[in-house]
Structure 1
Amino acid sequence: MPARPVIVRLTADMRSESRRLRVAFLGLGRMGTPMARHVLKAGHDLTVWNRTRGKADALAADGATVAPMPAAAARGRDVVVLMLADPEAVEQVLLGPDGVASGAEPDTLVVDGSTIGPDASRRMATRLREHRLRYVDAPVYGSVGPATEGTLGVLAGGEEADVAAARPLLELWGDPEKVRHVGPVGAGSAAKLVRNLTLGLALAGIGDALRLAATLDLPPDVVGELIAAGPLGAAFPPVRQILASGPPEAAGFTVDMLTKDLRLCLAAEPRLPLVDAARKVGEAAHAAGHGQDDTRALPRWMRDAS
């Protein structure tokens, strides 16, 4: 019978670049793939898993090991990173048959970069503690460009020692100045929802402004100047670029992703009438075939929708 792997408890003093971590990265979508590449580039031992095998094979060409299931990916790892679509996917990958909990050794640190909401994050932490696993919720903000550049923002929730232990990895895909420990488990997910709530409202507000301006026959250059100089100006430059040149071929943060986050906001607090209105806009865009469009294109769709 083969010897069980020796697992070294990951602690905050393991920040040295010479410390080679054994990392599993589960979920290789638009964001997960460039994030995982940073782990490889830093010289860590990386095992990957993805529901669609082809995305994992692309990283294997760069030196990653591909695991057939989450349990196998987590076995013998110091850290398991998740970057998945929603709470249901996270629960299945962590706790389902052949999930992380059935393969990871005690004291393995689970770092969840998914946006699943604070209640789900706290539930995952509780369930993982039953398996003697540690958990940090560390959702990211930014899109594919910052993920590729390693300049994402990271909002981490968890025990201080666990967040400190995760920081060497978080700072691979996140700008160190924007990697923040915001509170206990669940606080990272809560902070991410608050941030994306403001994004959803800003984009919906710009869309309404563009539609009203078009109805009133205002010149586009005047409208652009007014919005850029107003309260929603910070969200307008990428929208203006899409108005001029059309949506990017590859969406960074999709309308469906934003709509999912707005639903999570409403699940946490139903008394958010503006968020509910923005959620309905996202669902209408999805119904019209624009759910996989970049969120920056949402105001243009609102302007032009019949």
Structure 2
Amino acid sequence: MGSDARRLRVAFLGLGRMGTPMARHVRDAGHDLTVWNRTPGKADALAAAGATVADTPAAAAAGRDVVVLMLADPEAVEQVLLGPDGVASGAEPDTLVVDASTIGPDASRRMADRLREHRLRYVDAPVYGSVGPATAGTLGVLAGGAEADVAAARPLLELWGDPEQVRHVGPVGAGSAAKLVRNLSLGLALAGIGDALRLAATLDLPADVVDELMAAGPLGAAFPGVREILASGPPETAGFTVDMLTKDLRLCLAVEPRLPLVDAARRVGEEAHATGHGQDDTRTLPVWQRDAS
């Protein structure tokens, strides 16, 4: 880390729905921020707030204490870290890479091994929550890595999440593993609500009865978000898309194929994508499932 632990030199790579508010927290906390995004225009707002915009991941990583990634999938992470003009070709030895993406434990361990060849450190720290918590800085964070590396990353992790929800869950790969287990439960809950809504519609149950039963039942923790969609319609901007959840379910099945309910939930997500709903908020998935022909 830099000599002044209160002001880190940070590169943030990936400025999507989640990455942009997370990077803004880094800048608002007074850290020296450089950003990169495959689509450069997404960096404009952060540039106006004082961030430096780099042309490549290598340029963004040069001279930084910490490089943060918030990218879509394992392929994107590998390209940005190890591809031409990637982080590994620009970062100085001992730079800490904090991967907030959800890429699965095998990919996380592979990235850590490859980066170690370049004398770089790696923490997998996927976050859970949607755009609202990302903006508020109340995400959950599940960190995997060496104790010293997670401790070094913690000043940033606690900008994104409630300190009580920032957990060191084990060695490299453990953060990604924990995130998959969590999102597996989300996928199953949403698909289960969708099946329940479809059966209730087939049986012509009154909406208020269905609402009461679902809210009080085993899927009640996931139901309030769906209830909001039922009452008000889908949000203009998705907090967490159907496509991203479906990607996470595929990652679960890549680790353990013997998950028949996860496979069924994956198919629901892929069917929603095929009908043009992949970029919808995940909370809309049960409603789509209820109404799908």
Smaller-chain TM-score bracket: over 0.9
Give the aligned partner of residue 209 of structure 1: 196
- TM-superposed CA distance for 1:258, in Å, is 0.2
* Residue segments in structure 2 that go unaligned for 5+ positions in a row: none
Say which is worse superposed, 286-295 or 52-61, in terms of deviation. Answer: 52-61
Give the aligned partner of residue 93 of structure 1: 80
Give the aligned partner of residue 303 of structure 1: 290
- TM-superposed CA distance for 1:249, in Å, is 0.3
RMSD of aligned residue pairs (Cα, Å): 1.3
Tell me how far apart the structure 2 counterparts of residues 221 and 283 of structure 1 sit (CA, whole Å): 30
Tell me how far apart the structure 2 counterparts of residues 227 and 94 of structure 1 sit (CA, whole Å): 44
Segments ≥4 residues shifted beyond 3 Å: 14-18
Tell me how far apart the structure 1 counterparts of residues 94 and 284 of structure 2 sit (CA, whole Å): 43
Tell me how far apart the structure 2 counterparts of residues 214 and 132 of structure 1 sit (CA, whole Å): 58
Identical amino acids, percent of aligned pairs: 90
The alpha-carbon distance between structure 1 residues 39 and 17, as it changes in their structure 2 partners (threshold 3 A), is farther
The alpha-carbon distance between structure 1 residues 155 and 17, as it changes in their structure 2 partners (threshold 3 A), is farther
Contact 2:226-2:286 at 8 Å conserved across structures: yes
- TM-superposed CA distance for 1:17, in Å, is 9.3
Say which is worse superposed, 14-23 or 25-34, in terms of deviation. Answer: 14-23
Aligned residues: 293
Tell me how far apart the structure 2 counterparts of residues 27 and 80 of structure 1 sit (CA, whole Å): 11
1:104 to 2:107 alignment = no
- TM-superposed CA distance for 1:18, in Å, is 6.6
Tell me how far apart the structure 2 counterparts of residues 232 and 119 of structure 1 sit (CA, whole Å): 30
Contact 2:70-2:100 at 8 Å conserved across structures: yes
Tell me how far apart the structure 1 counterparts of residues 58 and 52 of structure 2 sit (CA, whole Å): 14
Tell me how far apart the structure 2 counterparts of residues 270 and 133 of structure 1 sit (CA, whole Å): 32
- TM-superposed CA distance for 1:179, in Å, is 0.2
Contact 2:2-2:9 at 8 Å conserved across structures: no
- TM-superposed CA distance for 1:16, in Å, is 11
Contact 2:96-2:121 at 8 Å conserved across structures: yes
- TM-superposed CA distance for 1:117, in Å, is 0.2
Tell me how far apart the structure 2 counterparts of residues 175 and 27 of structure 1 sit (CA, whole Å): 22
- TM-superposed CA distance for 1:264, in Å, is 0.1
Give the aligned partner of residue 4 of structure 1: none
The alpha-carbon distance between structure 1 residues 122 and 18, as it changes in their structure 2 partners (threshold 3 A), is closer
SS in 2 for 1:167: helix
Alignment of 1:131-146 (within 5 A): 131-146=118-133
The alpha-carbon distance between structure 1 residues 109 and 185, as it changes in their structure 2 partners (threshold 3 A), is same
What's the CA shift string for 1:192-232, capped at 9, x where partnerless? 00000000000000000000000000001100100110000
Contact 1:22-1:79 at 8 Å conserved across structures: yes
What's the CA shift string for 1:233-268, capped at 9, x where partnerless? 000001001001000000000000000000000000
The alpha-carbon distance between structure 1 residues 18 and 105, as it changes in their structure 2 partners (threshold 3 A), is closer
Say which is worse superposed, 155-164 or 18-27, in terms of deviation. Answer: 18-27
The alpha-carbon distance between structure 1 residues 15 and 38, as it changes in their structure 2 partners (threshold 3 A), is farther
What's the CA shift string for 1:251-297, capped at 9, x where partnerless? 00000000000000000000000000000000000001000000000
Contact 1:15-1:168 at 8 Å conserved across structures: no
Tell me how far apart the structure 2 counterparts of residues 56 and 46 of structure 1 sit (CA, whole Å): 12
- TM-superposed CA distance for 1:58, in Å, is 1.8
Say which is worse superposed, 50-59 or 202-211, in terms of deviation. Answer: 50-59
The alpha-carbon distance between structure 1 residues 184 and 18, as it changes in their structure 2 partners (threshold 3 A), is closer
Q: TM-score under structure 2 normalisation?
A: 0.99
- TM-superposed CA distance for 1:15, in Å, is 11
Q: TM-score under structure 1 normalisation?
A: 0.94
1:150 to 2:137 alignment = yes
SS in 1 for 2:22: helix
Contact 2:2-2:65 at 8 Å conserved across structures: no
Tell me how far apart the structure 1 counterparts of residues 193 and 228 of structure 2 sit (CA, whole Å): 14
1:38 to 2:38 alignment = no
SS in 1 for 2:97: strand
Contact 1:255-1:293 at 8 Å conserved across structures: yes
Tell me how far apart the structure 1 counterparts of residues 200 and 6 of structure 2 sit (CA, whole Å): 57
Contact 1:35-1:147 at 8 Å conserved across structures: yes
Contact 2:93-2:118 at 8 Å conserved across structures: yes
Pairing partner for 2:157 from 165, 170, 190: 170
Tell me how far apart the structure 2 counterparts of residues 92 and 238 of structure 1 sit (CA, whole Å): 35
Pairing partner for 2:187 from 188, 192, 200: 200
The alpha-carbon distance between structure 1 residues 244 and 17, as it changes in their structure 2 partners (threshold 3 A), is farther
What's the CA shift string for 1:32-70, capped at 9, x where partnerless? 000000000000000000000001122100000000000
Tell me how far apart the structure 1 counterparts of residues 211 and 282 of structure 2 sit (CA, whole Å): 18
